[in-house]
Amino acid sequence: MATGPQPYHSIECVISSPIEFPCVNADLYCVWELAKDVVLQTTVGTSVYPPKCRVHLSWLVHGSFHMTSNSSISVTSLDLTALDLFMDDASLLTIEESVVVNVSRKFRLDQDATIISGGSWPGHSGGHVNVTTSSFILHGEIRASGGEGICIDGKCTPGGNGGLVTLLYTSVATETGSIVVSGGANPLGSAAAPSRDLTEQDDTDDALYFPSDCLSGAAGQVLRIFASNKGVVDGYLVISNGFNGPTSSTSHHTQRRCAAVVFDTDSIDPSVKRVLIQGES
C-alpha cells in the first residue's frame, strides 16, 4: 500500500509533475489523503497500458478536486471523495473497471471532459460509474460502453457488454452532455449474413440468436436517483443499446435483435418508478 503526501497546513495542493505508478506482479493499492483543495495539472497513472499493470487508487480530499485542461488519471479503479469535482475541457478519467465519486456539493464535467470506464480494448465489457452528489452538471461525456468486437485471421471476438452508470443527486441535475452505456459493435458489421432467411422466422426467443454473426455486446444501464432532503426519492432506469446490432443495406438485417438482455425485475433498485428501454439504431 502506498500513501501519498499529506500537506495538512497548505491552502491548496497543486500537482504539476506527472505521477507514475510502478508496474508490479500484483495489484497495487494506493490510499491518498489531502487536507485542502487539489488542483491536478498533469497525468496520474502507469506507463504500461492495463491490464498488465493494475492500480487501485483511493483519494480522499477535504476540499475541492479540480482537474485542469489536458490533465488525466488512468488506473484500474478509482474511489474519489471530495467536496466538489470539477473537470475542465479535455480532462480525462480512464478507469479499467470502476469509478466511484462521492462529492457533497457539486459534480461538474465541462464540454470535452470525459470519464471512461471499461471498454478500453476489443471485447472488454463496460465498467461501472457511481456518482453521488448534491448538484450534477454534465456538459461532457460519461462512457461505460463495451469495447468493439474484432476479427483477426477469421477468428472473431464479440463486442463487450455495456456497463452501468449510477447517478444519485440530492439537489439539481443539468445534462447537456452524454452518457453512453451501449454494447460493443458487431465486428462483422455490414458483412454479417443471417444463417437463414429472416422473413421465415417467427417472433420467439429462439429466433433472436444467430451465433455465427450475432456478435454485438449486450445493453448497458443508466440509473438516475433523485433523493431530496425532504425524503422524496425518484428513480429512473434506462436500458440502452443505441449502437448495438449489425448494420446492413438490407432493411430486415438492421431490424434484427442481437445480444438480447435477460432482465430480472427483482434486481431493480426500489426507488425506480420509470424504466425506459432504448432500442438499436
User: Tens digit of pLDDT for each residue in 27-42?
Assistant: 999 999 998 999 999 9
- Among 109, 144, 168, identify where a domain stops: 109
Burial of residue 19 (CB within 10 Å: 0-12, 13-18, 19+) is: middle
Looking at the structure, tell me whether residues 45 and 141 fall in a common domain.
no
Same domain, 10 and 44: yes
Q: How far is CA 98 from CA 80, 101, 137, 161, 238, in A?
A: 11, 10, 20, 15, 19
Considering the domain architecture, whether residues 57 and 185 belong to the same structural domain is answered as: no
Examine the domain organization and report whether 129 and 260 are in the same domain: yes
280 in the same domain as 165 = yes
- 73 and 147 in a single domain? The answer is no
- Give the number of other CB atoms < 10 A from CB of residue 212: 11
Q: Do 161 and 70 belong to one domain?
A: no
> Beta strand 128-138 with 92-109: parallel, antiparallel or unpaired?
parallel
Expressed as residue numbers, the domain containing 34 is: 1-109
Pair (155, 53) in one structural domain: no
Please tell me whether residues 264 and 224 are part of one structural domain: yes
Task: Among 79, 109, 139, give the residue marking a domain's end.
Answer: 109
> φ and ψ at 266, to 5 degrees?
-70, -15
Q: What average pLDDT does the segment 165-188 reach?
A: 91
Q: What is the pTM of this model?
A: 0.81
Question: Which pLDDT does position 129 carry in this prediction?
Answer: 98
Number of domains in the chain: 2
Note the pLDDT tens digit of each residue in 36-65.
999 999 999 987 765 678 999 999 999 999
